[in-house]
Structure formats: C-alpha cells, structure tokens
Structure 1
Amino acid sequence: MQLILISGLSGSGKSVALRLLEDNGYYCVDNLPATMLTDVVALYSEQGYQHVAISVDTRSAPTLAALPEVMASLKAMRVDVRLIYLEATTEVLVQRFSETRRRHPLSGNGLTVEECIRLEREMLEHIHELGHRIDTSHLSANALRAWVKVLVDADADCLTLVFESFGFKHGLPLDADFVFDVRCLPNPYYEVALRPLTGQDEAICRFFEGEASVAQMLADIRQFLQNWLPRFRQDNRSYVTVAIGCTGGQHRSVYLAEQLAKAFAGEQVLLRHRQLPAKK
C-alpha cells in the first residue's frame, strides 16, 4: 500500500492536495487521529485498497505526539508511507482566512487568527521534519496540485533532490534546505528584448552561456551538492530542497535551477519554478 499523509497549517492548501489525490484514485480520509492510523491502514489493506491518503493535523491535536512512532510502525509493516507538510507565511494565511471568512480551527479560546497560526506552528513543530515541506505562500491551487502529483509519483526509496527557483522580492521559501542567492549575476531583465522571456527560453540560455560568472556559480553549487548529498543519504533523508533565488524569479534563478536539474539527471530530481505559471 502507498499511504500519503497530508499535514500542515490550516489554510495552507491541505484540502486542495487531498482532493487532487482523490481525483487520482486515492481513497481519502480527512482529519483522522494519528493513533488510529495503524488500525485503519490494516483495515483498508484487507479490503484491497492500494492507494490511500489521510490528513492528520491539529484538529486531532491530542494524538499528534504519536505520529512519528506510528509512521515508523507503518514503515516496519512495509507500508510506503510519505508525509507532505504544507505551510505558508503568517501574512498569507491571515489574508486567506480574511478572504474566505472561515474560522481558524483553534479560534475557540478567543485568540486572534494570527495567534492561532502561531500556536498551530508550535503544535506541528515536531511533524514538518518527518516529510516533504511545500511552502504554498505564492502558489496557485493549480501549481500546488501539479507539485503534489509529481511528488507522490516519485520513488520513495530514492533521495529526491528538489531544485526550486524563486524571487527574493516575493520572500524566502519556507521549504528550502539550502538557499543560493544568484542576484550578483548579470541580469537579462535590462535588455528590453529579453525582459518578457524566462530562464527556460533559448535566448536567455544563450545570454547566460556567454557569462563566465554564471558558469562559475553553477559549478560551485554543483560541487557543494556533490560533496554533501552522500551525508544526507547516510542520514536517511528522503528529500533535499535547493532553492535558487534572483530578484524576480524569472531569469537567473530559473536558468540555474534548470541547469542544475540537468547536471543531477542521475539522481531523482524534481524541478519547480515558484514564480512561473504552472504548466497545464
């Protein structure tokens, strides 16, 4: 059985992720106490379900402490269990609750939305390291669905190396393990003909291929990762997210993320461009 656990902050897109999995043939359960996971998985396994997705979050707060031990037990039972943790900045979450006019699940004690978010982060602090984090602060629902689908299709037995481009003017990604700042490199934005293009376009690639500083930055990041990836494997890490940032997340960061993905083609690689529209 493949079991996908969805967790994270309220308002970060857990319902979007769960509906995507349901549309892709997963049997989905929303808000199950962590202590019930083993019994429920055994029941569904007996009934022949091969793909199951379950959300586990602060709505069942008293059972959250048991989640790490339960996940270890499921893996010992040879269940392919993976956790996807969704989060977003406090400012974005406050705006989403304001727009939807929904109550935060922890708002029953007279707390403001911002106080509820802070409390929820503390309650989930021990969980986000158990799986793969996705910062949905600047993601459309369509982009989140695409990212989740690619993630669940990846081989769980291999370390997944995620290259993610972003723009610093939109804020640092919360889900990054490493952040490389490439704003010091030549910027094609200042050439009018190149401005509307992205780092995926041939003209931008030609622009960067003639720059020695770009080649040096690419070589340095590549060498750093080659040196340290073996240690992450030894630490039994399932995911390593490498964020490459430029000013707007359109040219330099996109180009370097694309080139790094090609350089590590022998690894299990996922490529994301935070500021570009999701491909349909």
Structure 2
Amino acid sequence: MTDASAPVAEPRLLLVTGLSGAGKSTVLKVLEDLGWEVVDNLPLALLDALLEAPVHRSEANRPIAVGIDSRSRGFKPALLVKRIKELRGAGGRDVQTLFLDCAGAELERRFSETRRRHPLAEDRPAADGIAREREMMESLRRWAEHVVDTTNYSSNDLQQEIRQRFGDTGQDEPVLNILSFGFARGLPRNADLVFDMRYLRNPHWDAKLKPGTGLDADVAAYVMADPAYEATVSQIEALLLALLPRYRAEGKSYVTIAFGCTGGRHRSVHVAERVARALRAGGHSPTVTHRNLDSAPQDGLEGKPPSASPAPGGKA
C-alpha cells in the first residue's frame, strides 16, 4: 500500500555543460538510454519554454537533461548560473549541474584525433580555444554540484560513471549494461558477470567476414551456424532472466554483463546484441556498449587460425 503522506519526489533537471571535447555527447547518450528526456545545445532563452511545455501525465516526472555549452546560442556562464539560482528559488524541481572537465593536453589530442576544430578557435590552434574556454567556464565549474574529470576516462569509463551517478530514476530495477569486449585488449572494469564467447567459430579467419562486425547480418549468420551456438546462448539468456530479479530483490543498483571474444569485434558483439533483445523482451532495459567495435582487426591478437574449419552444414 502506498503511503499517501510520503513526499512526492521533485522532477529532476540536470544541466550538462563543461569543456568542448570532454564527453558531453557521451553523457547525454547514456542519460537518454537511462530514460531521461535529453535536449542538446539548447539556447538558454528557450529553457523556460522547454520546462513549461505541456506533457502527458505519465511523463510529468520524467527527468530532463539539457546540454548547454560554449556552442549554444547566447551562451554566457554568468547568465546560466543566475538562471539556475532562479529555478532553485522557484522550487518544484531538483535542479543540478554536471560539469565535464579535462586536461588541456588530452583535449588537444582528442581534437587532433577527430580532426575537429575547437569552437572557440576556428582559425587558431586548439590550445588557444581550450585556454579561452577554460577561463570563461571557471565560474560555472565552481558552481556545479557534479564535476567529472574525463582526462583518464575511456568512453566506457565515462558511461559507467554517469550510470552510477544518475542511473536511479525512481525505479527499483538495477541499471543494466550489456558490454562486448576483446580479451586481447584487456578485461573490462566493473563487470559483474563475464561470458567467454571464444568457444564459437571465429569470423576473423574468413577473409570476407574479417572486415565486418557482429552487427552485420553475414557475420551474425556465421556465428549462429556454429553447432554449439543456440544451446549455449539460450542457456545464458535463461540464466540472466533468472538472476536479474534476484539482483533486484537484493537491492543491487548496477549490473554489468560482459561478453568477450578475442578481438571484441565479431562474436561478442553479436551475442551481446542478441542477449540484450532477449532481456528487453523479458521486461528489462539494458544499455548496450561495444568497447572494441572500432578497433582494427589484427591477426596477431587472434592467435592461430584453425587448421580445418568446416563450412556451416558442409565438409571441411
């Protein structure tokens, strides 16, 4: 029975800001996967219109994440701090700010690697724009309740950090992450369950399939044709569907299930996607991350090719 006298939680509003290149897009994508309503690069002048827009009753308490930074039209840190104070003073919302920081040298490396220009240094070195933006944003950094330094974070590390900080949206379901990875590139941190998919036939040694990934239909068909595939993967799905309610009953907030193969591009990717679909059909809401999907295929990481690999349904 619900206690009618219990206080009703205020809807959450998270302003996501920080230095360009520090990971705002990654953060907003994770929050969206967690069920937040996400709006990026919103002009500050339109914030009130967003908050006052009518919504269906079922969406009234859905948390909102708004990305605002130096690229947003009319962006001024002092005005943003002032507006945050006004929103808090008005009450009715749990207003917080997340500031993403990063060391200058790492930001320069990221801009160089992606070949993007810094928004505050279109015709100058990225270092100039980084220094200018850091000075401009300092007051906002001091004001933020949440400051995350992403200097030494991989994309997956940042995703895990955001899930741990903001994954509780008022539901008793644990925040569920499905991860694929390559054993040759290191075990993932914070994995609760790890399943080794290296027993399945490896598409890497098929010249036509090697450049592809487990997201491709021909690679998936190759993996699924392994005689051991269906019986084992279906048992993994059944195990997880049995375990997750027990984790929830024990109050576990976060569950990361990792599927590994040698390089992290074929077998683990396909199985992670399949298992995620099965869990969604079972009423869960997993987020899927492919840690090594964009890594270049390397024969040296895959060990020795099989001496005789029979074609599915055929002879060796």
Name the TM-score, length of structure 1 as normaliser.
0.53
CA–CA distance in structure 2, aligned partners of residues 258 and 232 of structure 1: 21
Give the equivalent residue in structure 2 for 1:10: none
Residue 215 of structure 1 is aligned with which of 227, 230, 253? 230
Select between 245-254 and 225-234 the one with higher mean Cα deviation: 225-234
Letter in 2 for 1:224: L
Give the equivalent residue in structure 2 for 1:25: 66
Do 2:14 and 2:66's aligned partners in 1 also have CA atoms closer than 8 Å? no
Select between 212-221 and 163-172 the one with higher mean Cα deviation: 212-221
Residue 275 of structure 1 is aligned with which of 254, 278, 292? 292
User: Which of the pair has more CA radius of gyration?
Assistant: 2
Letter in 1 for 2:293: L
Letter in 1 for 2:97: A
Residue 244 of structure 1 is aligned with which of 251, 254, 259? 259
Greater relative contact order (Cα < 8 A, sep 6+): 1
1:52 has 2:96 as partner: yes
Q: Taking every aligned residue pair, what percent have the same amino acid on both sides?
A: 30
Do 1:257 and 1:271's aligned partners in 2 also have CA atoms closer than 8 Å? yes
Do 1:27 and 1:49's aligned partners in 2 also have CA atoms closer than 8 Å? no
Give the equivalent residue in structure 2 for 1:186: 201
The count of corresponding residues between Structure 1 and Structure 2 is 186
Do 1:205 and 1:255's aligned partners in 2 also have CA atoms closer than 8 Å? yes
Do 1:26 and 1:53's aligned partners in 2 also have CA atoms closer than 8 Å? no
How far residue 185 of structure 1 moved from its aligned partner, in angstroms, is 1.3
What are structure 2's unaligned runs of at least 5 residues?
A: 1-10, 29-39, 42-64, 70-83, 108-149, 296-316
Give the equivalent residue in structure 1 for 2:132: none
The alpha-carbon distance between structure 1 residues 212 and 49, as it changes in their structure 2 partners (threshold 3 A), is same
CA–CA distance in structure 2, aligned partners of residues 97 and 222 of structure 1: 42
CA–CA distance in structure 2, aligned partners of residues 205 and 45 of structure 1: 54
Deviation readout 1:10-58 (Å, 9 max, x if unpaired): xxx9953599568552689xxxxxxxxxxx99982635655523469xx
How far residue 172 of structure 1 moved from its aligned partner, in angstroms, is 0.9
Letter in 1 for 2:274: Q
- SS in structure 2 opposite 1:180? strand
The alpha-carbon distance between structure 1 residues 238 and 45, as it changes in their structure 2 partners (threshold 3 A), is farther
Letter in 2 for 1:259: R
The alpha-carbon distance between structure 1 residues 224 and 19, as it changes in their structure 2 partners (threshold 3 A), is closer
Do 2:167 and 2:175's aligned partners in 1 also have CA atoms closer than 8 Å? no
Matches within 5 A, 1:1-280: 1-2=11-12, 15-17=22-24, 23=41, 25=66, 44=88, 46-47=90-91, 51-54=95-98, 99-100=105-106, 138-139=154-155, 155-157=169-171, 158-265=173-280, 266-277=283-294
CA–CA distance in structure 2, aligned partners of residues 165 and 19 of structure 1: 17
Do 1:166 and 1:245's aligned partners in 2 also have CA atoms closer than 8 Å? yes
- SS in structure 2 opposite 1:268? coil
How far residue 194 of structure 1 moved from its aligned partner, in angstroms, is 0.4
Select between 218-227 and 40-49 the one with higher mean Cα deviation: 40-49
RMSD: 4.4
Do 2:26 and 2:155's aligned partners in 1 also have CA atoms closer than 8 Å? no
- SS in structure 1 opposite 2:194? strand
The alpha-carbon distance between structure 1 residues 201 and 51, as it changes in their structure 2 partners (threshold 3 A), is farther
Letter in 2 for 1:274: R
Do 2:181 and 2:291's aligned partners in 1 also have CA atoms closer than 8 Å? yes
What are structure 1's unaligned runs of at least 5 residues?
A: 7-12, 29-39, 57-95, 102-133
The alpha-carbon distance between structure 1 residues 211 and 252, as it changes in their structure 2 partners (threshold 3 A), is same
Name the TM-score, length of structure 2 as normaliser.
0.47
The alpha-carbon distance between structure 1 residues 97 and 55, as it changes in their structure 2 partners (threshold 3 A), is closer
CA–CA distance in structure 2, aligned partners of residues 46 and 138 of structure 1: 38
Q: Which has the higher helix share?
A: 1
